[in-house]
Structures are given as C-alpha cells and as structure tokens.
C-alpha cells in the first residue's frame, strides 16, 4: 500500500517517516468556559487531510495512527487521584467506525478507562461549515448514559467549542464532573 501523505510504499497507512516528520504532536490549550479547557495536539491545517479520512473506509486506520501518536502518549503521562472515564462526543459510526471511540480507546491507562456509546446526540445536525450562530440555534441535544463519574470528553476537532460545551453541560446534568476535553486538532490555531 502507499502512504497517504508521501505515496511511498509502506505497510502503514501513514509511513513511519511521515509520522515522525509531519505528525509530531504539540500541545495546545484553549479556555472554553471559566476554568474549563480543551487540549489539542495539532492545528487543523497540520492534519486536515488526515481528519477528512473519517468520511472514507480507511479512516479507522488513520485515526488509529493519530490516536497512538497523540492520545496514547498523553495517557502514558496522565495521573489522577482516582479513575477517570473518557467519553467520545457523539459516537456514531461512519464506514463502520467512530473516530471519537477510536481516540478514546487510546486513552486507556491505569488512570483512564474509556466508556463507549455514552454521549450521543438525539438529533442529527451537521455542523460542518456552519457558523457559531447556526450552531447555537441548532443544539445537538445529547443523551448521556453515565452518571457520578469524573470524565474527559473526546472529540476529533474543535472549531467554535459549542459541541464540547453542550456535551459538558449534558454530562454535568447527570452529576458528572467534566475535567477537560481532548481533541486531535484545533481549527483556531
């Protein structure tokens, strides 16, 4: 198979050279609400071609690679005084996989346990390319199936932060403590 980036022969969907040269994560922090932060590993422009793979059959392999390079390394360095649960925002499947579930899976550690299918929108609203006003008028209405837990929210991309704040609010209504959110990329950096 060919590397998606450089098109050289590779046994990986993204060759090791491209992983080292193009996908070295950095850590970005954005405050979404008073004292509540989103942390991301890349800017949107750095990995745009890889993020859009979620619309194709090979996206699960791309997201597994990105998850190993960023989320897994984060989990190896994360410590907390109690067990924390990672929850993918709106885990729905495209081409038989959920990108947020894949990312959450890579957070598994001594301190983090992924939970699946616990945060799903009850309505289908497509936010891609929509402005903040549209997002505020058309809320996702999340159904949260977990309570009384410490949570890390997981998503692939942050643009306005509206989806993350909606998920946080829905989680808190079920008596969960949302510590922060992790995303692969931030569209504003």
Taking 50 as the pLDDT cut, the residues of the chain under it are none
Structure confidence by residue, pLDDT tens digits, 146-186: 999 999 999 999 998 989 999 999 999 999 999 999 999 99
Distance CA 119, CA 89 (A): 6
Residue 96 is predicted with a pLDDT of: 58
Enter the pTM of the model. Answer: 0.91
Give 154's strand partners: 88, 182
Q: Which domains does the chain have, with CATH numbers?
A: 25-186 (3.40.50)
The length of the chain in residues reads: 189
């Amino acid at each position: 198979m060919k590397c998606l980036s450089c098109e050289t022969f590779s046994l990986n969907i993204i060759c090791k050279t491209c992983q080292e040269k193009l996908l070295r994560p950095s850590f970005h922090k954005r405050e979404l609400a008073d004292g509540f932060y989103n942390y991301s590993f890349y800017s949107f422009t750095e990995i745009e071609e890889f993020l859009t793979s979620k619309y194709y059959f090979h996206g699960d392999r791309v997201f597994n690679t990105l998850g190993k390079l960023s989320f897994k390394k984060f989990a190896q360095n994360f410590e907390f005084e109690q067990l924390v649960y990672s929850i993918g925002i709106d885990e729905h499947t495209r081409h038989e996989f959920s990108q947020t579930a894949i990312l959450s899976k890579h957070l598994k550690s001594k301190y983090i346990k992924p939970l699946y299918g616990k945060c799903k929108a009850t309505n289908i609203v497509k936010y891609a390319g929509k402005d903040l006003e549209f997002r505020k008028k058309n809320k996702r209405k999340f159904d949260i199936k977990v309570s009384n837990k410490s949570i890390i929210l997981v998503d692939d991309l942050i643009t306005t932060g509206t989806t993350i704040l909606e998920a946080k609010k829905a989680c808190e209504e079920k008596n969960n403590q949302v510590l922060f959110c992790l995303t692969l990329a931030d569209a504003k950096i």
